[in-house]
Structure 1
Amino acid sequence: MCFASWASRIPDISLKLGLSEGELGQLLLAVPVGSLLALPPAGWLVHRWGSRQVLLLAAGLYSVALPLLGLADRFWRLAPALALFGLASNLVNIAVNTQAIGVQAHHDRPIMGSFHGLWSLAGFLSGAFATLLISWHLSPLPHFLIIMTVGLAIIGVAHRYTLRHDEGREAGGLAWRRPDPYLLRIGLIAFCGMLCEGTMFDWAGVYFQRVVRPGPALVTSGYVACMGTMALGRFAADALTHRFGATRVLQLSSALISVGLLLAVALPYLLPALLGFGLVGFGIAAVVPLSYSAAGQAGSMAPGPALALVSSISFTGFLLGPPLIGFLAEASSLRVSLAFVALVGAGIGLLAARSRPRKAYLTVPQKLAG
């Protein structure tokens, strides 16, 4: 809810601050920079304190940081607020995925996609809510205050249901060693997925605003279409992975990302662009859940540090994607920059075809796979 609320108001905030595409690209760098700053301590904090404590503290910070984005009225004020927002976001990311891996260990089938599906469902609903508020001409600050209130209320209710002990916390420890090549391969696949995902989050609304040019009430429709199909894809990803295996699912994901982006670029009109962004949402749906599930089940490291390692690699894609799109758009056009992202999406399928994932990555945790 927090992230989708920010992403849906990027076009409004960009207009408010009078940012060019290149300047917006520089500003968007602040969120992944904050996320990367969280990575060195994240694995250690989760391993030392447990994912539950880190999750509850970070989720509260995430909710409270959101209104700061609506208060900022200058570039130099918004940038540090976005960095704090990104830092809280990734602390939540590492902690909540560690919790999810602990829950999955008690099931005989993959369920990680469903957890990420709930994240995408919240993004879809929040994007739709933002569209409604925009049609009412409500500014970002009261919008963000509403989301902060709802977020804190959810934390107050849900905290009692979190796991108090992490699965596999003793595995691998935190000693410095050469990274597991398997985790590095997973991280590279996640890198490509996160670059595509970050591009859609930060630039879908801007692409519709400046290239597709629908009515003001439809500027967020491309973002909402992507988030909606991503949610559907993630709820279906567990069953598809269980039946066909991660490699085939990743290859299909790769094809959908590339075809969807190329369709939106070739036909920059409302209906084709909506269809294209919807296909991209289906495509990126399974990449991160499969990658994080594989990292948490690797066995060579405890889940928290393993997730931190894969996130370090993947968030580099999240770091590079949005500003790179801005720089490419400044030098050429937004259509050319999205065509480049389509090539990155194609790389997911190539990497999946060349790797040999472990059994846990294909289906269920090793101790349950027998």
Structure 2
Amino acid sequence: MPSPAAGHFSPRRYYRTALMAFFFVMGLVFASWAIRIPDIKARLSLGDAALGSILLAAPLGEMLAIAPTAWLLGRIGSRHGIDCALLLMPVCLVLLGLAPSPALLFAALLCFGFANNMLNIALNTQAVDVEILYSRSIMATFHGMWSLGGLVGGLLGAAIAPQGIAPLPHFCAVLCLVLLTLFSLRHWTLPRAVRIGGRQKAKTSGRFRMDAYLLVLGFIALGSMATEGAMYDWSSVYFADVVQPGEALVRVGYVVCMACMVLGRLTADGLVNRFGVALVLRLSGLSIAAGLSLAVLFPSLVPATLGLGLVGYGMASVVPLCYSLAGKSTRVPARVGISLVSSVSFLGFLGCPPLIGFLSHAAGSLRWAFCPIIALGLSIALLVPVLRRLRA
């Protein structure tokens, strides 16, 4: 494997290429779990409320990973943090396929969530530094590769599941692919943090506190993360129980949502560079609200699919743009800014999927349990003017 100094690529192109590949396989791993949730639910004979309780484990593990990951990256750097997390996450995926009981599934999902957010923070910390090297918005493209991986993982799962292939061999194949990618590209990552522009070098042992700017970023990201959690965990179940298009089309809503998320993220950087981050964030929130309204009010195949497509496009750029803004804060290092915003935003990821399960159980239908997400989309649009004033 050539070093970043070899060939016609500039070093920053190597860094960007490696990160794009790692974001891709991270999305592939996560989607491989999400697309097989209906199969694991059926294998363990779980109801909606029981599944909602178990799904709480993943965002809980992600919350538990925030502080340790920020501490670890301050000592070993994002490059080695990526190595550790990209080894751990697919191993935990295999444990999900092995889990023989709800209790062990909860434990495996807790570890999976921890590894997922450890990798999330490490990749985004390095992505902020690579974006600084480019002097323009490229963060959404990285997350676009995550969504592309999610789309590919969803399509593979949708093709594999009807053939009667169990989740375990599916997850083992994903593990092999991730390990091959990691060991092929791990030397292409950025070796150290970028210290340019307004970012100040903070003491490793210093304490950092949330300010109003980071808090509002966290709440904006929370609206999107809550929506993402609902789509990953419940979109296929919603189609199976409410839309009822037949087994062959049960996962079409998830796949369309992920496809539109890919499109949104791959086009977001160009929109931000041309129109500004505020307008893109505001339109994203309105798209989420409109899409969920369409899917809830008209729960048949075509409008529900179009609605989830709008949701996917709306939630595409919110989190990467919030991470980019947090990572460029002059008050804290990138890893700390991203961790602080994650600590707020993952409350949505933590609470929304189980809340939907409980609301569905109480109401007797999953359909109306999606209604709170409409308000979350509107809240993103309403918070953008506040963010602009704080940023100014």
By how many angstroms is 1:354 displaced?
Answer: 2.5
> Do residues 37 (structure 1) and 64 (structure 2) align?
yes
TM-score (norm 1): 0.95
2:141 corresponding residue in structure 1: 114
Q: Deviations over 1:133-164 (max 9, x none)?
A: 01211111111111111111111111011011
Alignment map for 1:1-370 (pairs within 5 Å): 1-168=28-195, 171-173=201-203, 174-332=205-363, 333-356=365-388
Take 2:342 and 2:299, find their aligned partners in 1: how far apart are those partners? 33
By how many angstroms is 1:251 displaced?
Answer: 1.1
Take 1:270 and 1:276, find their aligned partners in 2: how far apart are those partners? 10
By how many angstroms is 1:358 displaced?
Answer: 7.2
Q: Does the CA-based 8 Å contact 2:286-2:377 persist in structure 1?
A: yes
Task: Name the SS of the counterpart of 1:334 in structure 2.
Answer: coil
Q: Deviations over 1:176-214 (max 9, x none)?
A: 244222111111111111011111111101101111112
By how many angstroms is 1:336 displaced?
Answer: 1.2
Take 1:109 and 1:259, find their aligned partners in 2: how far apart are those partners? 30
Q: How many residues align?
A: 360
Amino acid across the alignment from 2:271: L
Take 2:169 and 2:32, find their aligned partners in 1: how far apart are those partners? 11
TM-score (norm 2): 0.89
Identity across aligned pairs (percent)?
A: 46
Take 2:30 and 2:391, find their aligned partners in 1: how far apart are those partners? 33
1:368 corresponding residue in structure 2: none
By how many angstroms is 1:108 displaced?
Answer: 2.6
Take 1:122 and 1:4, find their aligned partners in 2: how far apart are those partners? 8
By how many angstroms is 1:47 displaced?
Answer: 1.3
Take 1:45 and 1:102, find their aligned partners in 2: how far apart are those partners? 17
Moved more, 173-182 or 185-194: 173-182
Amino acid across the alignment from 1:350: L
Amino acid across the alignment from 1:300: R
Take 1:293 and 1:358, find their aligned partners in 2: how far apart are those partners? 16
By how many angstroms is 1:359 displaced?
Answer: 6.9
* Structure 1: runs of 5 or more not aligned: 361-370
Task: Name the SS of the counterpart of 1:166 in structure 2.
Answer: coil
Amino acid across the alignment from 1:87: F
Q: Does the CA-based 8 Å contact 1:134-1:217 persist in structure 2?
A: no
